[in-house]
Structures are given as structure tokens and as C-alpha cells.
Amino acid sequence: MKALITGISGFVGSHLAEYLLKNNTEVYGTIRHRSRMNHIQHLMNDVNLVECELRDPFSVENLIQDVKPDLIFHLAAQSFVPTSWNSPIDTIHNNVAGQVNIFEAVRRFNLDCKIQIACSSEEYGYVDPTEVPITELNPIRPLSPYAISKVAQDYLGYQYYKSYGLHVVCTRTFNHTGPRRGENFVTSNFAKQIAEIEKGLKAPVLYVGNLQAQRDFTDVRDVVHAYWLALEKGDPGEVYNIASGSCCTIQEMLNLLLSLSTVQIEIKEDPARLRPSDVEILLGDYSKFHKKTGWKPEIPFTQTMEDLLNYWRAIV
């Protein structure tokens, strides 16, 4: 079994590569010339890396023709919400064109393969507090260019399934974190600041944005297991929420991190961290996916946050 991971050098890509290798799957992954390889350095002898620019149809055609994967996990994306306000067209083009190029190449070469697309809870956007937990039938009310790009990816998956019979399974994943999470994202950003303060590398002041938002966090190691099951047992043309089924405010997540540290820290709001519009609450119902695959999250949130903090303690 040959699996292709787009964005293998990223946070989720590196965890998925580890998971697939343990499952005796041959792993191929796309990188770009400017990709940082630190997350997959330890896997270099076990995975096959292919340089590919997903925005370039020729590059993607060569990739699909050369690798001929049985499974594609399409993770590569511009995934940081604030960046999408600074460069909306770039985010939309990157995320949408990349996926269209993959679909078109698979279709044109008549490749018999299953494709998982990494969509997002951000697609739900504005959610009334009476509308939680969020099922796949909740309204889609995106609040950022990033969310729009994910809605487009999501609906393209449905359209290519209906129009051409491509085996596309869409996962709408809620927030996820764990070791190697990029430092821009809130859990990692706070954990890194704490690790730096503990080492005396930074004054004991932790900068924050909106602490009232509520998010549903799953461990990345549970998420990559879900992606595997999505292709093993999920139905093509279907959408599945991947979530933990509980949520906390960002303030509560911060309190948990602070409780794992011994240093005294002052909290300060940094206005630059506030967004033009923030999704207030995301709390997912993953029962559709559970019924289909038996998946449920296994790793407790406290464990995830402890592992994340220790990850930063080891590298700052």
C-alpha cells in the first residue's frame, strides 16, 4: 500500500508519516524547496520525498504519474487564520488550486485511489450558542478567508465525487495540537512563551489575544489515526467531523498550561493578536464518524498539553 502525504514536513504530516510507517505503509510525501525538514529529520531514511509545487498543475501531474499512490492524504495548506486576512488571495489560491490540481491529475490518469481532504471546523464559522454541539448538518457561515478556502475545498470534494466518481472523504477537523505544533497557533505560542520564561530567556510576561473564544482540542496523534480510518472505512462523498466532543475557553487552556509550570507569570493582552472577527465557539459532535469507524479520542487534553510544553522546554 502506497500513501502520499501532501505537506509531509508539516505538523500533522510528520505525525501521519510516523503513524503510516508503524502500519507498514510505504510513505511518499511532498515538500517544497523552502520546506523546513526538522519535523521529519528522524524519518528521512524511511520516507520518500518528492519536490512538488501543488499550485503548479505540471508539477502535480508529474507527482501523481510518478508515485501512483493508493491513498492520498491532502494536508498541505496555508492553515493560519490571521495570515489569511493579510493575504486572502494567496490563501485561497494556495488551498483551492492545490487541491484542484490533485483532483484533475487523479482524474486524468484514471488513478484508482482514495483521497482524504483536510477540511476544518472553521467552515462552521459563526455558531449560535444554541447550535452546539456542531454536527455535519450545522449551517456553514465562514468568518475568514481561510474558512472560505476550506469551504471551497470541502465542496470541491463533493463535486468531484459526484461528477467523476473520485473517492474523496472530507474530514472537518476541529482544533488539534501536540508536539511540533507551529508556534503561531495559540497552544504552542503560549507553551513556547512559558518555556522561554522558565529558562530566563524572556521577561515573565505572557502575551495573549482573545481569551474568551471556546475551542474543541484533539491530540494530533488521535487526529492522524482518524485520517487513516477515514480512508479505510469512510464513505466517499461524505463529510466527517473529527473532534473531542468537549471544549474550553482559551483562558482555561492557558490556566492549564500555567498550572504545569512553576514560574510566576503576568498575562498581558497584545492588541495585534486580536482578529477582525473571531469564531466564538467551536464544539464538535463526532458521532457520525464514531458510528462509521469506531474512532474516539484517546489522549487526555492534560497529557497533550504536558507533551507540548515539554516539547518546547526541550528546544528553546
Which positions touch ligand F7E (CB under 6 A)? 79, 81, 120-122, 174-175, 184-186, 189, 208-211, 213, 215, 250, 273, 275, 278
- State the distance between the two ends of the chain, measured CA to CA, in whole angstroms: 38
When the beta carbons of 38 and 184 are compared against ligand F7E, the nearer one is: 184
Q: How distant is the alpha carbon of residue 254 from its chain centre? A: 21
When the beta carbons of 28 and 95 are compared against ligand F7E, the nearer one is: 95
When the beta carbons of 196 and 278 are compared against ligand F7E, the nearer one is: 278
For the bound state, the minimum distance from the C-beta of residue 160 to ligand F7E, rounded and expressed in Å, comes to 21
Helix (H, G, I), strand (E, B) or coil at 241: strand
133/139 Cα distance (integer angstroms): 12
When the beta carbons of 47 and 180 are compared against ligand F7E, the nearer one is: 180
For the bound state, the minimum distance from the C-beta of residue 181 to ligand F7E, rounded and expressed in Å, comes to 8
Selection from 224, 260, 312, 278 nearest residue 21 by Cα: 224
When the beta carbons of 9 and 175 are compared against ligand F7E, the nearer one is: 175
**Residue type at position 50:** V
For the bound state, the minimum distance from the C-beta of residue 133 to ligand F7E, rounded and expressed in Å, comes to 15
Residue with the three cell numbers 486580536: 274
Cα-Cα-Cα-Cα dihedral of 120, 112, 10, 123, to 10°?
A: -10
When the beta carbons of 68 and 275 are compared against ligand F7E, the nearer one is: 275
Q: Which three cell numbers stand for residue 169?
A: 472523504
Angle made by CA atoms 174, 178, 180, in degrees to the nearest 5: 115
For the bound state, the minimum distance from the C-beta of residue 189 to ligand F7E, rounded and expressed in Å, comes to 5
Selection from 102, 107, 22, 25 nearest residue 70 by Cα: 25
For the bound state, the minimum distance from the C-beta of residue 178 to ligand F7E, rounded and expressed in Å, comes to 12
CB contact at 8 A, 249 and 214:
yes
For the bound state, the minimum distance from the C-beta of residue 77 to ligand F7E, rounded and expressed in Å, comes to 7
For the bound state, the minimum distance from the C-beta of residue 59 to ligand F7E, rounded and expressed in Å, comes to 24
When the beta carbons of 65 and 277 are compared against ligand F7E, the nearer one is: 277
Q: Which three cell numbers stand for residue 158?
A: 463533493
DSSP state of 126: S
Length of the chain: 316
